Amino acid sequence: MKTMSKKQRKMLLRILVAGGIFLPLLVLEITGVSESWPWYIALPVHVVPYLIVGYDVLRKAVRNICHGQVFDENFLMCLATVGAIAVQEYPEAVEVMLLFQIGELLQGVAVGKSRRSVSDLMDIRPDYANVERDGELQRIEPGDVRVGEIILVKPGEKIPLDGVVVEGNSNLDTATLTGESLPRPVTAGDELISGCVNMNGALRARVTKPYGESTVARILDLVENASSAKAKSEGFITRFARYYTPAVVVLAVLLAVVPPLFLGDWSTWVRLALTCLVVSCPCALVISVPLTFFAGIGGAARKGILVKGANWLEELAKVQTVVFDKTGTLTSGRFTVTVVHPDHMSEQDLLSLAATAECYSDHPISLSLKQAYKKEIDRTRVSSVEELAGRGVCAVIDGKRVLVGNERLMEEQSVTRTPCCHGQHRGTLVHVAVEGVYAGHVEICDELKPDAADTIRLLRPRKTVLLTGDHATVGEEVAARLGVDEVHCDLLPADKVARVEELLRRKPASSSLAFVGDGINDAPVLSRADVGIAMGALGSDAAIEAADVVLMDDRPSKVATAIRASRRTLRIVRENVVFSLAIKIGVLAAEVVMTAVGRDSNMTLAAFADVGVLVLAVLNATRALRVKPAEKIRERKGKTA
């Protein structure tokens, strides 16, 4: 009762009242007492429980007919039960309506439970924000907090808005966003992501985004509106029901009219036609298929995987080619920096030039250079900066033209490099030239993420491809260590799009291609792939906007989890469709055979079959809420083997 809404509790009361009135009538029928009742007595006593439990079905059917929506489950139930009353099968009319309403109630409770499960899983909406105003702490709605204001987040409270910590140390529980149980430490200067829970210390933070643009608002919008993008399977079921229901009515009319013209016994065939209407109710299909997709999206959200719609869940299930960006996707994006320089420039001076030239860039390599410099950058030294896509930057520092970038940039600018630049290098080389004279280079080594190799293994037998702007020696070494099937190096952003276009032409027609990137510099490729997956996108606006699927943490292995969850959801959809149609066809065939051999069809049994199919299909749909990480599935299979 606690899990029911007010409307559902009212429906349960109606079912109990109608059942209480009908049960003595059913006993009288079984004992044969009511067989001698004239119709003017039998009809009123059965119509009372019938109307108590089914008046809303009659009302909906009439209302829909008035609006031109004739053929639906309400119409079928009304036609079947009113027909049963017309042929004086009063108890069966009440039984069918009772069972139909019981099925609707059970379906409503199951759907409500699944929706509450998703709401509980995504229980990240903040209730209030503690804002420092006029020297005092005020509790107000998050939407009323202005950018730049200072908020206080106490231990145990949700982070209400995105911001930057100005004072305090604590650990954040990010499980509701990422599905990960490990706390995330934060201190002064660190970013705060709305929707997380502050675990221990109090934090003062400066708000950087209004609530409408915050991470929590974007995530809630994605999850709540994901059902608006329907999958092809949902569209098929909608179209199927549109033609299926009228076809069932026509079949029932033919069963009621044609056989009696040749065989006689009108009441028997009319009874079979009414039974056909009851069995053929499409509720199980119309309800369970969208519910399965909704549960699949909710289950993925629990693991920190945001799918923007059922259509993308369906595309994920067809993925046979997975293309990865390298930096920040399969590698950590946290670099170790080694400075190599000719004799006329010190290591610190070279690093200073490189970091200063890159001072306006947010690329992971640029961030690593600035971090390695370990000093505050004096931006007044920089008079101009020009970004050269896929090559580096050209900046004027202290009045001198400084080039910082890759080998291609040095070749374009005719800069002669020193012999130490040639040969094997473990990492990426960032070259520095001043006024056209080579000054030295910085070797940057990126580390593979702990689960990168497992990701490629878990995706087998799907084809995996690595795209990177790094030199071939670096890209091929990473590909070899991971076991990637195909690698393409030295790519500009436009080259990555071209490679994805080529892979799209080569893939099997019935399959999909997914591109996995960090969501910062990969927006064109994310948009071009069949499925764009942005990972490590906690708080990244660009990723949430460009991608079709967003992984809220930094683990590439969740790509395999997302694909597995989508395939499981599609499998449950197919199970429900096949199961529902098979049971309905089987019961209908049995009723026809019973009628042909001279036995009366059983409308009550047909109603039981319809309600049973509906309940089982809905319960099966809720299985999609449970999503297990792909690596755990493989471990379990390995132990079994």
Is residue 188 left, alpha or beta, with left meaning phi > 0 and alpha meaning psi from -120 to 50?
beta
Domain containing residue 324: CATH number: 3.40.50.1000
Helix/strand/coil percentages in the chain, nearest 5: 55, 20, 25
Contact 197, 165 (CB under 8 A): no
Query: What's the pLDDT score for residue 640?
Result: 37
Q: In the listed set 419, 447, 475, which residue is the last one of a domain according to the structure?
A: 447
| C-alpha distances in Å from residue 331, one per residue of 250, 328, 419, 470, 487 | 62, 5, 29, 12, 15
Host H or E run for residue 512: strand 512-517
If one counts every other C-beta atom within 10 angstroms of the C-beta of residue 55, the result is 12
Active-site positions read: 325
Whether 472 and 495 share a structural domain: yes
Cα separation, 180 vs 304, in Å, equals 8
Tokens 């080694």 locate to 338
Host H or E run for residue 348: helix 347-357
Q: Which residues pair with 402 in a beta bridge?
A: 395, 434
CA atoms within 13 A on the CB side of 639: 5
| C-alpha distances in Å from residue 559, one per residue of 318, 324, 625 | 13, 10, 18
> Which string of DSSP letters, residue by residue, matches 195-259?
T-EE-SS-EEEEE-S-GGGSHHHHHHHHHHHGGGS--HHHHHHHHHHHHHHHHHHHHHHHHHHHH
- For 369-485, list the strands marked E by DSSP: 382-388, 392-397, 400-405, 428-434, 437-448, 463-467
pTM: 0.71
| C-alpha distances in Å from residue 378, one per residue of 355, 357, 370 | 10, 11, 12
Residue 46 lies inside a defined structural domain of this protein:
yes
Cα separation, 587 vs 605, in Å, equals 9
Token digits for 120?
């509980």
Chain centroid, CA 6 distance in Å: 30
Cα separation, 641 vs 592, in Å, equals 48
Residue 213 lies inside a defined structural domain of this protein:
no
Select from 558, 522, 551, 525 the least CA-distant residue to 536. Answer: 551
Whether 167 and 238 share a structural domain: no
Whether 426 and 404 share a structural domain: yes
Residue type at position 156: G
User: What pairing do the DSSP bridges indicate for beta strands 203-207 and 163-167?
Assistant: antiparallel
> In three state form, how does the secondary structure of 267-336 look?
HHHHHHHHHHHHHCCCHHHHHHHHHHHHHHHHHHHHCCEEECCHHHHHHHHCEEEEEEECCCCCEEEEEE
User: What pairing do the DSSP bridges indicate for beta strands 486-488 and 197-198?
Assistant: unpaired
Whether 417 and 463 share a structural domain: no
Host H or E run for residue 21: helix 6-30
Residue 219 lies inside a defined structural domain of this protein:
no
Whether 513 and 595 share a structural domain: no
| C-alpha distances in Å from residue 291, one per residue of 140, 205, 364, 478 | 36, 40, 41, 42
Domain containing residue 419: CATH number: 3.40.1110.10
For the sheet with 191-192, list strands across it: 136-140, 129-133, 150-153, 203-207, 163-167, 191-192
How many H-runs (helices) and E-runs (strands) does the chain carry? 21, 22
Residue 202 lies inside a defined structural domain of this protein:
yes
Residue type at position 323: V
Query: What's the pLDDT score for residue 374?
Result: 81
Residues of the chain short of pLDDT 70, as ranges, are 1-3, 71, 110-124, 175-176, 178-182, 222-238, 241, 333-336, 341-344, 417-427, 519-521, 536-544, 600-601, 630-641
Query: What's the pLDDT score for residue 287?
Result: 74
Domain containing residue 187: CATH number: 2.70.150.10
| C-alpha distances in Å from residue 93, one per residue of 97, 101, 273, 306, 520 | 6, 12, 14, 46, 62
Residue 322 lies inside a defined structural domain of this protein:
yes
Whether 16 and 97 share a structural domain: yes
Which structural domain, as residue segments, surrounds residue 232?
Answer: 6-119+227-294+567-640
Token digits for 185?
């430490």
Tokens 């051999």 locate to 597
Whether 542 and 517 share a structural domain: yes
Query: What's the pLDDT score for residue 222?
Result: 67
Contact 470, 491 (CB under 8 A): no
Q: Which residues pair with 131 in a beta bridge?
A: 138, 151
Contact 137, 106 (CB under 8 A): no
Q: Which residues pair with 554 in a beta bridge?
A: none
Whether 361 and 426 share a structural domain: yes
Residue type at position 267: S
Whether 277 and 326 share a structural domain: no
Whether 535 and 599 share a structural domain: no
Q: In the listed set 400, 427, 447, which residue is the last one of a domain according to the structure?
A: 447
Q: In the listed set 520, 552, 584, which residue is the last one of a domain according to the structure?
A: 552
Whether 29 and 115 share a structural domain: yes
Residue 375 lies inside a defined structural domain of this protein:
yes
Tell me which DSSP letter residue 509 carries: T
Tell me which DSSP letter residue 391 carries: T
User: What pairing do the DSSP bridges indicate for beta strands 531-535 and 549-551?
Assistant: parallel
Residue 324 lies inside a defined structural domain of this protein:
yes
Whether 283 and 147 share a structural domain: no
Query: What's the pLDDT score for residue 228?
Result: 59
Cα separation, 530 vs 549, in Å, equals 11
Burial of 228 (0-12, 13-18, 19+ CB in 10 A): exposed
Residue 215 lies inside a defined structural domain of this protein:
no
Number of structural domains (the chain) is 4
Cα separation, 267 vs 280, in Å, equals 20
